[in-house]
C-alpha cells in the first residue's frame, strides 16, 4: 500500500499528539495542510507567515505541546523566522515545516530556492531535512521531542517540494511511537539545603516568579511556598497569575523598591536579563544573594554569581524546597520592617495610579481606559497585550488571577505578536476551557503589524475582543488639528514626526468589514457601553477603537531603562 509524503507528515504529526497547525498554503505545501485536516489536526489559514508562526508558538506555551507552522519555500520560510526566534528566546516549543525547492533543481536557481536548513540553524534548536520519505516519522518525532525536552524552543523541518506528492510503500517506512513526556529533573539535595539556609538567614527576601514557572505548571507549589514561608513575590510580566496578582504577598506595585533593597532573591524560572535589569547595581544591592532555579544549566550564573544554583524542573524543585521548609518550620515575619516599607510603597503607587485613572478630562488617558477595562472584563479571561505604553501600563493596571493567561511581547520585546497569540489562545480555549474569553489589548501601532488577521478571526468565528488603545502614534501622536497644521509645511515624509500615525484612524471599520462588530469610542461612557456589549456577546468577534489623549504617557519611572524622553 502506497502513502504520499504529505500523508506521512500528517500521520507522524498526529502520532506525536500535535493538535494545531497554522500557516499559509501554496506551492509546494498545500497537500500537507489537506492531509493534516484529514487526520484530524486543526488547520488555521493565516494572512501572514509571521502571525502564523507567533500563533503556533503560543500554542506551545499554553498547552506544553508544540503547535505547527506550515510555510512555503523562500519568502514564506523567511517570514516565519520572527516567530522561530521569538519562540526560542521565550523558551516555547514550536515546530515549523517549510516546503523547499525540488531536489533535482538545487543550485539551478529553482523557484524560491534558498538555503533554508542552514538559515534555520540560528533560530532553532534543530534544523533538519529528512533524507528520504521513509525517515519522515522519525525526524518529526525527534523535532517534537527536541522542542519540548530541556529548555523548550523552536525546531525546523525542511521538506523538498518533490517529497510532498512522492509515494512510498508503507512497509518500508520507519514508523515511531509518540515521544515520552519531558523527563523531570530535580536539584541535588545539598543545593536545596544550601538555598533554604540562605533564605532562612535573609532580612529582606524576595521571590521572583518567571514564565518558566508558569510553563512548568508550578502554580500550586509556588503558592504553597509563598504562604508557608511568608515571602514577598514579584512576577515577571508573563508570570502574572502563577500566584494571583491580588495575593497579599504580591509586591508588583513596589517593583523597583523590592528589587533595589532585597538581600536575598530567589529566581523561579526567571532570567537576569534586561527585564530584571541584569541583577546589577544600581537597581540591586551590590551584595545581593541570588538563588537561581532553572531548567537550563547554561543559564546559571549569568550576570551575577549565585549563592546557590538549583538545576531542574521548576515545579519539582519548588516541591523540594517545600519539603525542606516543612522540616525547618521557618517563616518570614509579616511585621518586619521590610514588609512595612513594601506595603507603604505599594499604597503610595496604587494611589498615584488611581488618581490618574479618575481624571475626568477628555480625551481619556491610559489609566482611565485601563480602569474601565479592569472593571468590566471577566476575571478569568486570557489577556493578550502588546504596544509600548499600552503594554507597560496595562501590565500594572490589569490583574491576572490564573497562570498562563497573559501573553505579551515577551523576552524578545516583539511587536506584532498580539493577533496571532489571540487566535492561538481562542483556538485552545475553545477546545479546553469553552466559554473562556480572549481579550487582546493593542496599541494602535502594534495592531498595525497584523491587522489583517481580523479576517482570520472572523473566518473561524473566534469571539475575541480586541481593544485598540489609539493615541495616533508610536509612544505619542498628534491630534487632528496639529496634524493639519503639520501638513501645511509640505510633504509629510519630510515634516511629520517619525512616531506619528494618521489621527483618528477608524480601525474598528476593518472588523465590521469582515462581519465582526466595531466600536469607536471617545468617552468613558461610550467605552463602558462598548465593553458591556462585547463581553455579553460571546459569539461575535469585536473591536473597540478607544481614542485617547495623543500625549498621554505612563507615570514617570516604571521602566526607566527604556527612557522615552527623547520622543
Topology agreement, domain 2-172 and domain 359-547: yes
Rounded Cα gap, residues 185 and 198, in angstroms:
22
Q: Given pLDDT bands bounded at 50, 70 and 90, which one contains residue 558? A: very low
Calpha distance 319→443 (Å, rounded)? 40
Give me the CATH topology for the region 359-547. Rossmann fold (3.40.50)
Confidence of residue 562 (pLDDT cuts 50, 70, 90): very low
Sign of CA dihedral 194, 197, 201, 204: positive
Which among 429, 447, 446 has a CA at the least distance from the CA of 438?
429
For domain 189-343, give the CATH number: 3.40.50.1220
Q: What is the pLDDT of residue 555?
A: 62
Q: What is the CATH number of domain 2-172?
A: 3.40.50.970
Please, which pLDDT band fits residue 553 given cuts at 50, 70 and 90?
Answer: confident
Identify any residues that bridge with 128 across adjacent strands, giving them in sequence order.
Answer: 157
CA neighbours within 13 Å on the CB side: how many for 422? 34
pLDDT of amino acid 564: 38
Mean pLDDT of the region 544-561: 73
Query: How are beta strands 167-169 and 2-4 bridged, if at all?
Result: antiparallel
Give pLDDT tens digits for 62-112: 999 999 999 999 999 999 999 999 999 999 999 999 999 999 999 999 999
pLDDT digits (tens, 9 = 90+) for 510-548: 999 999 999 999 999 999 999 999 999 999 999 999 999
Cell of 262: 532585597
* Nearest residue to 332 (alpha-carbon basis) of 226, 223, 221, 208: 226
Q: What is the mean pLDDT of residues 455-476?
A: 97
CA distance 67 to 76: 17
| Percentage of the residues of the chain whose pLDDT score is greater than 70 | 98
Band the pLDDT of 556: cuts 50, 70, 90: low
The pLDDT tens digits for 240-295 are 999 999 999 999 999 999 999 999 999 999 999 999 999 999 999 999 999 999 99
Q: Would you kindly state where each structural domain of the chain is located, as residue ranges?
A: 2-172, 189-343, 359-547
Reported as a single tens digit per residue, the pLDDT across 173-199 is 999 999 999 999 999 999 999 999 999
**Other C-beta atoms lying within 10 Å of the C-beta of residue 449:** 22
Of 268, 218, 219, 537, the residue nearest 401 (C-alpha): 219
The model's confidence at residue 454, banded by pLDDT at 50, 70 and 90, is very high
Amino acid at each position: 500500500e502506497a502513502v504520499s509524503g504529505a500523508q506521512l507528515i500528517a500521520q507522524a504529526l498526529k502520532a506525536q499528539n500535535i493538535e494545531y497547525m497554522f500557516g499559509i498554503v501554496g506551492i509546494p505545501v498545500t497537500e500537507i495542510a489537506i492531509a493534516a485536516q484529514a487526520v484530524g489536526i486543526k488547520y488555521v489559514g493565516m494572512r501572514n507567515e509571521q502571525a502564523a508562526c507567533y500563533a503556533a508558538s503560543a500554542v506551545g506555551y499554553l498547552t506544553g505541546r508544540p503547535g505547527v507552522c506550515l510555510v512555503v519555500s523562500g519568502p514564506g520560510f523567511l517570514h516565519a523566522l520572527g516567530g522561530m526566534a521569538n519562540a526560542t528566546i521565550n523558551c516555547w516549543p514550536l515546530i515549523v515545516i517549510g516546503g523547499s525547492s525540488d531536489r533535482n533543481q538545487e543550485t539551478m536557481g529553482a523557484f524560491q530556492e534558498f538555503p533554508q536548513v542552514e538559515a534555520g540553524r540560528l533560530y532553532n534548536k534543530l534544523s533538519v531535512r529528512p533524507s528520504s520519505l521513509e525517515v519522515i516519522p522519525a525526524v518529526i518525532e525527534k523535532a517534537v521531542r527536541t522542542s519540548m525536552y530541556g529548555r523548550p524552543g523552536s525546531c525546523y523541518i525542511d521538506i523538498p517540494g518533490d517529497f510532498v506528492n512522492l509515494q512510498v510503500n508503507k512497509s518500508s517506512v520507519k514508523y515511531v511511537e509518540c515521544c515520552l513526556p519531558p523527563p523531570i529533573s530535580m536539584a541535588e539535595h545539598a543545593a536545596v539545603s544550601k538555598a533554604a539556609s540562605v533564605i532562612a538567614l535573609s532580612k529582606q527576601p524576595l521571590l521572583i516568579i518567571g514564565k518558566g514557572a508558569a510553563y512548568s505548571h508550578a502554580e500550586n507549589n509556588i503558592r504553597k511556598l509563598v504562604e508557608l514561608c511568608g515571602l514577598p513575590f514579584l512576577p515577571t510580566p508573563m508570570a502574572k497569575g502563577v500566584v494571583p496578582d491580588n495575593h497579599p504577598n504580591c509586591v508588583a506595585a513596589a517593583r523597583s523598591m523590592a528589587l533595589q533593597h532585597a538581600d536575598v532573591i530567589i529566581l523561579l524560572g526567571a532570567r537576569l536579563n534586561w527585564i530584571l535589569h541584569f541583577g546589577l547595581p544600581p537597581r540591586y544591592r551590590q551584595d545581593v544573594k541570588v538563588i537561581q532555579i532553572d531548567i537550563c544549566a547554561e543559564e546559571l550564573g549569568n550576570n551575577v554569581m549565585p549563592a546557590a544554583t538549583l538545576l531542574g524542573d521548576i515545579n519539582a524543585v519548588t516541591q523540594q524546597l517545600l519539603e525542606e521548609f516543612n522540616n525547618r518550620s521557618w517563616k518570614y515575619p509579616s511585621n518586619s520592617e521590610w514588609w512595612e516599607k513594601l506595603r507603604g510603597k505599594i499604597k503610595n503607587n496604587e494611589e498615584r495610579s488611581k488618581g490618574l485613572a479618575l481624571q475626568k478630562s477628555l480625551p481619556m488617558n491610559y489609566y482611565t481606559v485601563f480602569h474601565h477595562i479592569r472593571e468590566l472584563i471577566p476575571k478569568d479571561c486570557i489577556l493578550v497585550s502588546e504596544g509600548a505604553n499600552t503594554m507597560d501600563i496595562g501590565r500594572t493596571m490589569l490583574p491576572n488571577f490564573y497562570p498562563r493567561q497573559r501573553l505579551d511581547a515577551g523576552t524578545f520585546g516583539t511587536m506584532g505578536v498580539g493577533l496571532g497569540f489571540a487566535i492561538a489562545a481562542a483556538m485552545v480555549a475553545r477546545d479546553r476551557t469553552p466559554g473562556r474569553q480572549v481579550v487582546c489589548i493593542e496599541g494602535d501601532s502594534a495592531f498595525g503589524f497584523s491587522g489583517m488577521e481580523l479576517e482570520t478571526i472572523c473566518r473561524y468565528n473566534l469571539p475575541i475582543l480586541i481593544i485598540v488603545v489609539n493615541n495616533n502614534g508610536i509612544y505619542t501622536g498628534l491630534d487632528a488639528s496639529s496634524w493639519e497644521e503639520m501638513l501645511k509645511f509640505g510633504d509629510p515624509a519630510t515634516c511629520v514626526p517619525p512616531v506619528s500615525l494618521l489621527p483618528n484612524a477608524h480601525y474598528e471599520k476593518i472588523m465590521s468589514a469582515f462581519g465582526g462588530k466595531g466600536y469607536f469610542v471617545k468617552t468613558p461612557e461610550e467605552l463602558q457601553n462598548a465593553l458591556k456589549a462585547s463581553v455579553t456577546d460571546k459569539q461575535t468577534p469585536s473591536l473597540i477603537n478607544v481614542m485617547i489623549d495623543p500625549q498621554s504617557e505612563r507615570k514617570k519611572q516604571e521602566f526607566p531603562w527604556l527612557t522615552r524622553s527623547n520622543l
